[in-house]
Protein backbone atom coordinates (compact mmCIF):
# COMPACT_ATOMS: atom_id res chain seq x y z
CA UNK A 1 0.00 0.00 0.00
CA UNK A 2 2.87 2.39 0.84
CA UNK A 3 4.42 1.73 -2.57
CA UNK A 4 1.14 2.56 -4.32
CA UNK A 5 0.70 5.78 -2.31
CA UNK A 6 4.33 6.77 -2.96
CA UNK A 7 3.93 6.11 -6.69
CA UNK A 8 0.70 8.09 -6.73
CA UNK A 9 2.37 10.97 -4.88
CA UNK A 10 5.29 10.98 -7.33
CA UNK A 11 2.87 10.96 -10.29
CA UNK A 12 0.90 13.91 -8.89
CA UNK A 13 4.09 15.84 -8.13
CA UNK A 14 5.48 15.13 -11.62
CA UNK A 15 2.27 16.36 -13.24
CA UNK A 16 2.34 19.54 -11.14
CA UNK A 17 5.96 20.22 -12.09
CA UNK A 18 5.22 19.64 -15.78
CA UNK A 19 2.27 22.06 -15.64
CA UNK A 20 4.41 24.66 -13.88
CA UNK A 21 6.95 24.46 -16.70
CA UNK A 22 4.36 24.86 -19.45
CA UNK A 23 4.20 28.32 -21.00
CA UNK A 24 1.34 30.39 -19.69
CA UNK A 25 0.19 33.61 -21.27
CA UNK A 26 0.66 36.78 -19.34
CA UNK A 27 -2.28 37.78 -17.16
CA UNK A 28 -3.82 40.99 -18.45
CA UNK A 29 -4.47 43.84 -16.03
CA UNK A 30 -8.16 44.57 -15.45
CA UNK A 31 -7.44 48.13 -16.64
CA UNK A 32 -4.41 49.25 -18.68
CA UNK A 33 -1.79 50.94 -16.50
CA UNK A 34 0.03 54.15 -17.32
CA UNK A 35 3.79 53.92 -17.65
CA UNK A 36 6.46 56.42 -16.68
CA UNK A 37 8.55 57.96 -19.41
CA UNK A 38 11.38 55.58 -20.16
CA UNK A 39 14.49 56.79 -21.97
CA UNK A 40 17.29 54.43 -22.98
CA UNK A 41 19.87 54.15 -25.78
CA UNK A 42 20.20 52.12 -28.93
CA UNK A 43 23.44 50.39 -29.92
CA UNK A 44 24.84 53.60 -31.41
CA UNK A 45 24.15 55.49 -28.18
CA UNK A 46 21.20 57.43 -29.61
CA UNK A 47 18.37 58.15 -27.18
CA UNK A 48 15.21 56.09 -27.59
CA UNK A 49 11.91 55.86 -25.75
CA UNK A 50 8.77 53.75 -25.92
CA UNK A 51 7.22 56.59 -27.93
CA UNK A 52 9.29 55.27 -30.85
CA UNK A 53 6.93 52.26 -30.93
CA UNK A 54 3.66 54.19 -30.59
CA UNK A 55 0.92 52.49 -32.58
CA UNK A 56 2.32 48.99 -32.03
CA UNK A 57 1.82 46.35 -29.40
CA UNK A 58 5.25 45.95 -27.76
CA UNK A 59 6.70 43.22 -25.62
CA UNK A 60 9.32 45.03 -23.48
CA UNK A 61 11.75 42.57 -21.91
CA UNK A 62 14.11 44.01 -19.27
CA UNK A 63 17.11 41.72 -18.89
CA UNK A 64 20.90 41.45 -18.44
CA UNK A 65 23.66 39.25 -19.84
CA UNK A 66 24.66 38.19 -16.30
CA UNK A 67 21.15 36.83 -15.64
CA UNK A 68 21.03 33.11 -16.54
CA UNK A 69 17.23 32.90 -17.06
CA UNK A 70 17.42 36.05 -19.21
CA UNK A 71 20.09 34.48 -21.40
CA UNK A 72 18.09 31.28 -21.74
CA UNK A 73 14.89 33.02 -22.90
CA UNK A 74 16.54 35.40 -25.39
CA UNK A 75 16.38 32.99 -28.38
CA UNK A 76 12.63 32.51 -27.76
CA UNK A 77 12.13 36.29 -27.81
CA UNK A 78 14.07 36.45 -31.07
CA UNK A 79 11.89 33.75 -32.64
CA UNK A 80 8.72 35.53 -31.43
CA UNK A 81 9.96 38.77 -33.00
CA UNK A 82 10.74 36.96 -36.26
CA UNK A 83 7.28 35.41 -36.30
CA UNK A 84 5.08 38.36 -35.25
CA UNK A 85 7.28 41.44 -35.58
CA UNK A 86 6.34 44.13 -38.06
CA UNK A 87 4.01 47.11 -38.32
CA UNK A 88 1.73 45.88 -35.54
CA UNK A 89 4.04 44.18 -33.02
CA UNK A 90 7.64 44.34 -31.86
CA UNK A 91 9.91 42.93 -29.18
CA UNK A 92 12.16 45.40 -27.37
CA UNK A 93 14.87 43.71 -25.31
CA UNK A 94 16.20 46.36 -22.93
CA UNK A 95 19.46 45.36 -21.29
CA UNK A 96 20.43 46.84 -17.93
CA UNK A 97 24.06 45.74 -18.31
CA UNK A 98 26.49 48.24 -16.84
CA UNK A 99 29.12 46.92 -19.25
CA UNK A 100 27.20 48.61 -22.08
CA UNK A 101 26.04 47.84 -25.58
CA UNK A 102 29.25 46.00 -26.57
CA UNK A 103 28.62 43.28 -23.99
CA UNK A 104 25.07 42.86 -25.27
CA UNK A 105 26.16 42.83 -28.94
CA UNK A 106 28.83 40.20 -28.14
CA UNK A 107 26.24 37.99 -26.42
CA UNK A 108 23.71 38.39 -29.26
CA UNK A 109 26.39 37.55 -31.85
CA UNK A 110 27.49 34.46 -29.88
CA UNK A 111 23.97 33.01 -29.77
CA UNK A 112 22.84 34.23 -33.21
CA UNK A 113 20.07 36.58 -32.02
CA UNK A 114 18.96 39.36 -34.39
CA UNK A 115 17.16 41.53 -31.84
CA UNK A 116 18.36 45.15 -31.90
CA UNK A 117 20.50 46.21 -28.95
CA UNK A 118 18.92 48.62 -26.47
CA UNK A 119 20.69 49.55 -23.25
CA UNK A 120 19.85 51.20 -19.94
CA UNK A 121 23.26 51.34 -18.27
CA UNK A 122 22.18 53.19 -15.15
CA UNK A 123 19.26 50.87 -14.35
CA UNK A 124 16.63 53.64 -14.50
CA UNK A 125 14.16 51.21 -16.09
CA UNK A 126 14.28 48.90 -13.08
CA UNK A 127 13.53 51.76 -10.72
CA UNK A 128 10.94 53.62 -12.77
CA UNK A 129 9.03 50.46 -13.73
CA UNK A 130 9.27 49.14 -10.14
CA UNK A 131 10.75 45.81 -11.17
CA UNK A 132 11.83 43.34 -8.50
CA UNK A 133 13.97 40.96 -10.51
CA UNK A 134 15.10 39.93 -13.95
CA UNK A 135 13.89 39.08 -16.44
CA UNK A 136 10.78 41.21 -16.30
CA UNK A 137 8.49 41.64 -19.28
CA UNK A 138 5.76 44.17 -19.95
CA UNK A 139 3.13 43.99 -22.66
CA UNK A 140 2.49 47.52 -23.87
CA UNK A 141 -0.49 48.64 -25.93
CA UNK A 142 -0.41 50.91 -28.98
CA UNK A 143 -1.01 54.02 -26.84
CA UNK A 144 1.90 53.23 -24.53
CA UNK A 145 -0.08 51.75 -21.64
CA UNK A 146 0.89 48.59 -19.77
CA UNK A 147 -1.51 45.75 -20.54
CA UNK A 148 0.28 42.98 -18.62
CA UNK A 149 3.46 42.17 -16.74
CA UNK A 150 5.35 38.96 -16.13
CA UNK A 151 8.17 38.51 -13.62
CA UNK A 152 10.53 35.71 -14.57
CA UNK A 153 11.39 33.86 -17.75
CA UNK A 154 9.02 32.40 -20.31
CA UNK A 155 9.10 30.41 -23.50
CA UNK A 156 7.97 33.33 -25.65
CA UNK A 157 7.67 31.44 -28.94
CA UNK A 158 5.55 28.55 -27.61
CA UNK A 159 2.35 28.02 -29.60
CA UNK A 160 0.17 29.08 -26.66
CA UNK A 161 2.12 32.33 -26.23
CA UNK A 162 2.06 33.13 -29.96
CA UNK A 163 -1.72 32.60 -30.07
CA UNK A 164 -2.10 34.82 -26.98
CA UNK A 165 -0.10 37.64 -28.60
CA UNK A 166 -1.94 37.31 -31.91
CA UNK A 167 -5.24 37.73 -30.06
CA UNK A 168 -3.95 40.75 -28.12
CA UNK A 169 -2.61 42.39 -31.28
CA UNK A 170 -5.97 41.99 -33.03
CA UNK A 171 -7.97 43.18 -30.03
CA UNK A 172 -5.80 46.18 -29.22
CA UNK A 173 -5.51 47.45 -32.74
CA UNK A 174 -9.23 46.99 -33.45
CA UNK A 175 -10.31 48.64 -30.18
CA UNK A 176 -7.98 51.59 -30.55
CA UNK A 177 -8.39 52.00 -34.29
CA UNK A 178 -4.63 52.08 -34.67
CA UNK A 179 -3.11 50.61 -37.87
CA UNK A 180 -4.83 47.52 -39.17
Q: Where residue 174 falls among pLDDT bands split at 50, 70, 90?
A: confident
Please check the confidence at residue 10 and state whether its pLDDT lies above 50: no
Contact (CB, 8 A) for 64 and 97: yes
Quick one: which of 57, 59, 62, 71 has its CA closest to 40?
A: 62
pLDDT for 40? 97
Fold of 24-176: Glutaredoxin (3.40.30)
Q: pLDDT tens-digit profile of 17-57?
A: 333 445 567 999 999 999 999 999 999 999 999 999 999 99
22: which DSSP letter? S
The distance of Cα 157 from the centroid of its chain, to the nearest Å, equals 11
What mean pLDDT value characterizes the chain?
Answer: 88
Which tens digits make up the pLDDT trace of 84-132?
999 999 999 999 999 999 999 999 999 999 999 999 999 999 999 999 9
Put the strands of the sheet holding 57-63 in their side by side order: 28-33, 146-151, 136-140, 57-63, 89-95, 118-119, 39-42, 47-49
CA distance 18 to 23: 10
Amino acid sequence: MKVILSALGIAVLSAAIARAQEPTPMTLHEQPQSLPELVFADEAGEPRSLEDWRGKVVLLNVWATWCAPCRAEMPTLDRLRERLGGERFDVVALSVDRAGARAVRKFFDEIGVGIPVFIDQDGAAIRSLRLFGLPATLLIGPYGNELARLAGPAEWDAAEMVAFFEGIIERELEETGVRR
